[in-house]
Amino acid sequence: NYRDLYSEPPPPGLVPSCAEGGVLGILPGVVATLQATEVIKVLLKLGDVASGRLIIYDALKMVFRQLKVRKHGGYEIKELIDYKEFCGIPQQEASNNEEAEIKEITVHEYKTLRQDGQEHQLIDVREPHEDDIVNIAGSELKPLNTIQQYFDELDKSQKYIVHCKMGGRSAKAVRQMQAAGFTDVTNLIGGITKWVEEVDPSLPSY
């Protein structure tokens, strides 16, 4: 049971979305094949089923490891989280309407805005460990899962540019700020990834 490894899922926004985090395309296929093999073994009552073990596959080193997993009691799954929200996958009907409400700016447009000296505040909604790797000069780190705590400290009439790694978390932050009454909030398309690729390649990427 996955809850034997992690008793509570992290709140939405604490981890990068599936699109931002990324995965080597072949890995799900490898894992799915292993899972299918286990199902066949269970149905045919063959071999040593991997129940009670966590199989870890390191594709870069071509190494498999196994860890024993104990069943933990004391928790009860009362409801499932909204996995579409958790993984940063907006529902199709809502996405079209929500996208229309969000102002966006490209990295080149934002570069011009900075060069022109237009007054604004750049908010970075990534996690501290991401900020340790790379950041855009002048940005203020306010992780998505805590950003609402800062709303009372921010001037709602000021101009804000919001960014994350690729634009998913920052879009959520923009919607939250708009709902809280901020009048001029813009999402940086492509986030810091696009900024590094197209504006400042001297910065590290991840």
Q: Please, are residues 177 and 162 in contact by the beta-carbon 8 Å criterion? A: yes
Angle between helices 92-101 and 168-179 (to 10 degrees): 70
Shortest CA distance to 101 belongs to which of 156, 190, 172? 172
Other C-beta atoms closer than 10 Å to the C-beta of 73 total 7
Q: What is the residue type of 120?
A: H
Annotated active-site residue in 123, 144, 161, 164: 164
* 166's tokens: 């690729």
The verdict on whether 87 is a catalytic residue reads no
The three-state secondary structure class of 111 is helix
Count the neighbouring beta carbons within 10 Å of the beta carbon of residue 199. 17
From the candidates 5, 18, 36, 59, which is the catalytic residue? Answer: 18
Question: Which residues are annotated as catalytic?
Answer: 18, 164
